Amino acid sequence: MAMTDALRGYVTALRDLPSGVAGEFADVRSTPAATSPMQAAIETMHPRGQLAVDLIIDARDRAVAGVEACGEHVLATARLLEKPERFYSGQVVARAGVEAAGLVRWLLDPNASPEEVIARHLGRARDEQDRGIKFLTSASVSDPVDQEELATISQHIVEMKDRTVAAIEEIGIKPVRLGSTELAKYGGDPEEYDIFSGSMHGRLAPFLETQKMAADDVGSAILFMNLISVTARAYVTAIDVARTFVTGQHLSDARLAEVAEALGLNEDALTPPDMPSSRLD
C-alpha cells in the first residue's frame, strides 16, 4: 500500500498522542483532589487503618504504570505503521495495548467499591509475584555471577510476596484475579482481541488473512485504520479511567473530538465497549 499524505498524517498523530494528552495524565500522578473518587475511597478505607489507605494509593500507582505501558504500545504501533507491511506485528502490539488498558479499567472500575479496588490490586500483585517466582525457579544459568544475580532477584520477589500475603491477612480482603482474556473485555472489543491474539500466538489463519488484506489497497487501508483506532481507543480509555478515578474529571468531549479528528476517526471509534458488571464476591 502506498503511504498517502493522509495516512502519514494519521501515523504522526498517533505517535504524538501520548505527548498530546500529557497534561490530562499529569493530574493522575499528583495528590488526589479533596472531591475526587480516589479521595472518597481513601476516606472510606481510612477507618480500617493506614494499610487500607496505602493499598488504594498503590492501586492508583499500578494503574499509572498501566497507562504508561499503553503509551509505549501507542508509540510502537506508530513506528510499525510507518511500514505498512508490518500489519501483522502491529496486531501483536495492539493486543498488548488493549490488555494494558483493560488492566487500568478493571483496577479503577467506577462501579467497584474501594474494597474491590484493593481486592483487584492485591490479586494482580499476587499474579505477578507467582509468575515471577515460577519463571525464576525454572531458569537455568551456569555463570556464577548470573546465578548470584538470579538468587538476589528471586529473594526480592519472595519478600514482596511475603509482604503482600501479610497485607492480605491484615486487611482481611480476599484478592480477586482476572486473566488476560477477561481483561480484554475491559480494554477493547473481544472479537478484535481474539484476532490479535491469533497473531500473537502465530496462528496461521490470522496471518494468512492479514497477508491477503495487505495485498489490496482497500484491505490495507482497513487494517491500517483498525490498528489506529484500536490502539488510540485503548490509550484514551486508560487515561480517562485513571483521570476520572483520581480527579473526578473525564477527558472533555472537545478533547476527544480533537484526538479523533487528528487520527481520521469518528469519535465513536474512541469509545470502549460497555464495562462488564462488577461486584465483590
First to last CA, the chain: 51
Q: How far apart are CA 130 and CA 138, in angstroms?
A: 12
Q: Does pLDDT of 278 surpass 60?
A: no
- Tell me, rounded to whole angstroms, the distance of Cα 175 from its chain centroid: 20
> Which of 64-68, 75-79, 145-149, 203-207 bottoms out in mean pLDDT, i.e. has the lowest?
145-149
Helix or strand holding residue 222 (H, E)? helix 217-247
What confidence score (pLDDT) does residue 240 get? 92
Residue 114, SS3 per DSSP: helix
Length of the chain: 281
- Tell me, rounded to whole angstroms, the distance of Cα 242 from its chain centroid: 11
pLDDT digits (tens, 9 = 90+) for 224-240: 999 999 999 999 999 99
Taking the alpha carbons of 82, 231, 6, 17 in that order, is the dihedral positive or negative? negative
Quick check: 42 and 32 in contact, CB under 8 A? Answer: yes
**The whole model's pTM is what?**
0.88
In the numeric block, which cell numbers belong to residue 71?
Answer: 503509551
More confident residue, 86 or 172: 172
Mean pLDDT across 140-152: 73
